[in-house]
């Protein structure tokens, strides 16, 4: 009799929603061209995301079945999505060389919002150098995020120091600004003795 009662009480739970163990997605994107980084020729229609990770990819029907009332569901409207895309263009070795240099980032990574603030930071930095044959260096300024919306001019850079060579690399890593001594350090002045301006991204800046 005891076994019968125990079985009777357990029976409803075997068919309850708790036993379905359905894994629901936090977000579903469907009706698109989903091309995962798993090999050539692989393409699906939809993707499910759970806890910031790819839960599954597949057909619209299969992936939408992973959605419940808490899932955010959006249509890709035929757009292409590349989940798991790996950025192979990184400069890890370059960043290692920048570990000990001042960062001149604007928001949200830093607090530099005006050219005057950058110049003040460079003044503090160059005072740490007692060898005018060494190049002081900083990285990370972004002229598009500055109040002035421009690069510091050569004249402004020279107000930081006219004896200590220094350069500041722009956040892209593809260009840099130097004071006159910094240009001399790179022998730029020697090859262009009549230098009257610095041209960066087509922006002319008088010295």
Domains of the chain: 21-81 (2.30.40.10), 92-206 (3.10.310)
Flag whether the pTM goes above 0.95.
Answer: no
Q: Residue by residue, what is the 3-state secondary structure of the chain?
A: CHHHHHHHHHHHHHHCHHHCCCCCCCEEEECCEECCCCCCCCCECEEEEECCEEEEEECHHHHHCCCCCCCEEEECCCCEECCCCCCCCCCHHHHHCCCCCCECCCCCCCCCCCHHHHHHHHHHHHCCCCCCCCCEEEEEECHHHCCCCCCCCHHHHHHHCCCCCEEEEECCCCCEEECHHHHHHCCHHHHCCCCCEEEECCEEEEC
List per-residue pLDDT tens for the chain, 207 residues long. 444 444 444 444 443 443 344 679 999 999 999 998 777 778 999 999 999 899 999 999 999 999 999 999 999 999 999 887 777 777 667 777 777 889 999 998 899 999 999 999 999 999 998 888 889 999 999 999 999 999 999 999 999 999 999 999 999 888 899 999 998 888 765 555 554 444 434 334 444
């Amino acid at each position: 009799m005891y076994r019968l009662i125990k079985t009777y009480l357990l029976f409803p739970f075997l068919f309850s929603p708790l036993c379905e163990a359905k894994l629901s997605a936090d977000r579903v994107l469907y009706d698109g061209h989903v091309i995962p980084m798993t090999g050539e020729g692989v393409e699906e229609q939809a993707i499910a995301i759970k806890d910031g990770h790819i839960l599954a990819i597949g057909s619209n029907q299969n992936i939408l079945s992973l959605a419940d009332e808490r899932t955010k569901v959006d249509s890709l409207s035929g757009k292409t999505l590349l989940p798991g895309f790996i950025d192979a263009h990184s400069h890890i070795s370059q960043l290692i060389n920048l570990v000990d240099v001042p960062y001149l980032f604007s928001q949200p990574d830093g607090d530099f919002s005006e050219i005057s603030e950058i110049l003040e930071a460079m003044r503090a930095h160059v005072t740490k150098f007692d060898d005018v044959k060494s190049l002081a260096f900083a990285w990370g300024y972004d002229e598009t995020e500055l109040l002035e919306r421009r690069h510091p001019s050569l004249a402004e850079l020279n107000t930081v120091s006219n004896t200590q060579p220094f350069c500041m690399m722009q956040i892209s890593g593809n260009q840099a600004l130097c004071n006159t001594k910094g240009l001399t350090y790179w022998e730029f002045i020697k090859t262009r003795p009549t230098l009257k301006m610095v041209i960066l991204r087509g922006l002319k800046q008088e010295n």
